Amino acid sequence: MNLHDFYYELPKELIAQDPLLDRAGSRLLLLDRKAKKTEHHIFREIIDYLEPGDCLVVNNTKVIPARLIGSKVGTDAKIEVLLLKRETDDVWETLVKPGKKAKPGAKISFGDGLLVGEVLEVVEDGNRKIRFQYEGIFEEILDRLGQMPLPPYITHELEDKTRYQTVYARHNGSAAAPTAGLHFTPELLQEIQHKGVQIAHVTLHVGLGTFRPVKVEQIEEHHMHSEFYMVEDKQAKLINETKAHKKRVIAVGTTSCRTLESATGADGILKAGSGWTDIFIYPGYQFRLIDALLTNFHLPESTLMMLVSALAGREQIMAAYKEAVKERYRFFSFGDAMLII
């Protein structure tokens, strides 16, 4: 398939720059695949489309304040470091700007020496491996010195760090939020459970590859970034029981979807465990586990547009996006949501 098949026109002013004060007050576009129709709702009305016995699967990863601003030891030149992937306790693969100032052996100081990084080597894509030295607990220092690594299309400063976290975020490790989950409040989740809907948790640490543009004309040639995922025994059992009872598994976000599809065998059984996945889901893919998907609106020509097109069909997705633009929905990370059933 051609990359341009997934292009749509988006007026810049529809890119949401700030989260709504009321998480569950976002809009929700319902896309019914069988009936080939769309409906417009408020997010908290999602409960009306969930049935007792269904299982919502959320990604409980937590975004780390992975953006560090420091200075090169010896020259005081300003350097920005983005933590991408933890290799060992103190060694991270990072994205460094400007890269030319970060040759192997260079040292970068953050917070007046509270944290010092030494560039070990330059790896694929020009990323740098950096070893950090510090006193105390790395996560606590990161909380003090780091900033949230907001996507490049968000230019506003985020006033409240918690608004780029889901209310159920538990496991540190993401460089970007699983944004479909940002709409849930503790109260709405409680109401959903009272209705008899199960909520299962998986973990996928979202990498910045999420924002990496597809640069090949034929999408089949695109190579996905790999991300770490984890499915616990108890959660796998809950999800498999849902399928055994002929009820729906509804993935909250493309990250939950990719985790579930990566960890499910050809027999349709979800296996507990952890590992790295570079699964690329595009039209023609046969879904092994999920029955429905809650997701935000995605960038034109992105791998996530391809994923939702694999589930609902490209034509239905493009028509729904055209309608969302016409109805002035808010797009991307802090934007509105779509439920594909």
Sign of CA dihedral 219, 261, 194, 167: negative
pTM of the complete model: 0.92
Residue 211 has pLDDT above 80, yes or no: no
Percent of the chain with pLDDT over 70: 100
Across residues 294-306, what is the average pLDDT? 97
| 3-63+160-340 CATH pick, 3.40.50.300, 3.40.250.10, 3.40.50.150, 3.40.1780.10 | 3.40.1780.10
pLDDT 10s digits, 62-75: 999 999 999 999 99
**CA end-to-end span of the chain, whole Å?**
24
H-helix segments, 232-287: 233-244, 254-263
Collapsed DSSP state (helix, strand, coil) of residue 75: coil
Q: Where are the domains of the chain?
A: 3-63+160-340, 67-145
Torsion angle, alpha carbons of 141, 147, 151, 153, to 10:
-170
Sign of CA dihedral 26, 24, 157, 115: negative
| Contact indicator for 40, 327 with CB cutoff of 8 Å | yes
Give me the pLDDT at residue 135, please.
Answer: 96
**Long-range contacts from 115-118, C-beta under 8 angstroms, 24+ separation:** 115/68, 115/70, 115/141, 115/145, 116/73, 117/70, 117/81
When pLDDT is cut at 50, 70 and 90, the band that residue 1 belongs to is: very high
Distance CA 163, CA 69 (A): 22
Task: Find where tokens 């694929």 sit.
Answer: 124
Give me the pLDDT at residue 54, please.
Answer: 98
Distance CA 70, CA 142 (A): 12
Give me the pLDDT at residue 234, please.
Answer: 98
Give me the pLDDT at residue 28, please.
Answer: 98
Give me the pLDDT at residue 316, please.
Answer: 98
The length of the chain, given as a count of residues: 341
When pLDDT is cut at 50, 70 and 90, the band that residue 208 belongs to is: confident
Distance CA 135, CA 275 (A): 30
| Contact indicator for 337, 183 with CB cutoff of 8 Å | yes
Distance CA 33, CA 318 (A): 13
Q: What average pLDDT does the structure give for the chain?
A: 96
pLDDT 10s digits, 84-106: 888 988 999 999 999 888 999 99
pLDDT 10s digits, 218-273: 999 999 988 999 999 999 999 999 999 999 999 999 999 999 999 999 999 999 99
The CATH number of the structural domain formed by 67-145 is: 2.40.10.240
Sign of CA dihedral 211, 207, 142, 73: negative
Residue 130 has pLDDT above 80, yes or no: yes
Residue 181 has pLDDT above 80, yes or no: yes
Across residues 108-131, what is the average pLDDT? 95
Q: Which two tokens stand for residue 86?
A: 């933890």
Residue 209 has pLDDT above 80, yes or no: no
Could you tell me the CA-to-CA distances from 88 to 11, 39, 92, 170 in Å, in that order?
43, 48, 7, 20
The secondary structure of 134-180, three-state, reads ECCCHHHHHHHHCECCCCCCCCCCCCCHHHHCCCCCCEEEECCCCHH
Q: Which two tokens stand for residue 222?
A: 């695109």
Give me the pLDDT at residue 265, please.
Answer: 97
Give me the pLDDT at residue 207, please.
Answer: 85
When pLDDT is cut at 50, 70 and 90, the band that residue 159 belongs to is: confident
Give me the pLDDT at residue 213, please.
Answer: 85
Indicate the helix (H) or strand (E) that contains 307.
helix 303-312
